Amino acid sequence: MAPIVVLRGDGIGPEVVEEGLKVLKAAARRYGIALEFTEALLGGVAIDATGDPLPEETLRRCREADAILLGAVGGPKWDTLPGDRRPERGLLRLRQGLELYANLRPVRVFPPLLDVSPLKRDVIDGADFMIFRELTGGLYYGTPRGIEQRGEEETGIDTLIYTTSEIARIARLAFQAASRRRKKLTSVDKANVLMSSQLWRRVVVRVAQDFPGVTLEHILVDNCAMQIIRNPRQFDVIVTENMFGDILSDEAAVIAGSIGLLPSASLGARGGLYEPVHGTAPDIAGTGQANPIGTILSVALLMRYSLKQE
């Protein structure tokens, strides 16, 4: 097997990755799994070293890898760079370059941590769901995008665009996951306003025909944002577009108690990228306070999905 590419990134990234690697190596030793690692640069550290948040060399090595472990990217030092040269753009180009179109974010309450959440114990006890966030389409990548002068005004433009095949492939993965779980899929959209959401809903309904054992429901994103903290136990698998998934998954972290607890796996045609849901937390970087559980759980997902070591 190809080496696992380690991208420590910025801020607390290197610290949490270090802890994740300890667990990964210990588990590998215990179960006799041979692993090799190689380090590469992504984000602010890559900008400092090469001027590019995603150096060619990093993309090449990630393309050859079966699995990539990532900390987090970004920080105040690079915040004044123009949009397309920021550390975050490196991450977005990596997701796109590897066609990692499905971002899985499992949300679960750990019984010993029930009182860590600001939400009431009886609301969150037993909550256990999985968010499937579309990761390589929508507002993050749509064109035209930019800031341009239109008459008197500067105008900022982003494009929310989805094709049938982009929707169908993430829907299919979400249905498959639901059929292995409690057999309920909630598709989140804004079909009362957005055309892309109307297509989203239509395609999800079409894909549902191949999964008669799964109950499909549709929910508008604003209502979903409320339901996630009002009654999170109602959810099994959630599937949604890129931006809605970004926002809802931060919100869902409140159920687990802290954003430091949530892992993620980004999957596509082959390989996988594993990273905690949180950011670089520059305010606590280097102080040893960062919670590495999100990364450690990401390592567990890496074992499961890329190494097939349940």
Instruction: Give the residue numbers marked as catalytic.
Output: 140, 190, 222, 246, 250
- Judged by CB, which is closer to ligand IPM: 124, or 259? 259
**At what angle are helices 195-208 and 164-180 packed, to 10 degrees?**
50
The reply to whether 88 sits near ligand IPM by the rule CB under 6 A is yes
3-class SS at 148? strand
Cα–Cα distance measured from residue 236 to residue 129, given in angstroms and rounded to the nearest whole number = 5
Closest CA to 220 of 242, 240, 204: 240
Which of Mg ion, ligand IPM, none sits in contact with 91, Cβ below 5 to 8 A by type?
ligand IPM
Answer for which of 246, 272, 281, 305 binds ligand IPM (CB under 6 A) is 246
Q: Compare residues 18 and 251 and give the one whose CB is closer to Mg ion.
A: 251
* CB-based contact 244:200 (threshold 8 Å): no
Decide if residue 91 touches ligand IPM (CB under 6 A): yes
For ligand IPM (CB under 6 A), the number of binding residues is 6
Restricted to residues 243-282, the positions that interact with Mg ion (CB under 5 A) are 246
Q: Which residue is nearest to ligand IPM (CB)?
A: 88
Half-sphere exposure of 133 (CA within 13 A, CB side): 26
Of residues 248 through 277, those in contact with ligand IPM by CB under 6 A are 277
Give me Rg for the CA atoms of the chain. 19
Tokens of 308: 């097939």
* DSSP bridge partners of 267: 102, 272
21 binds ligand IPM (CB under 6 A): no
Binding site for Mg ion (CB under 5 A): 246
Binding site for ligand IPM (CB under 6 A): 74, 88, 91, 246, 277, 279
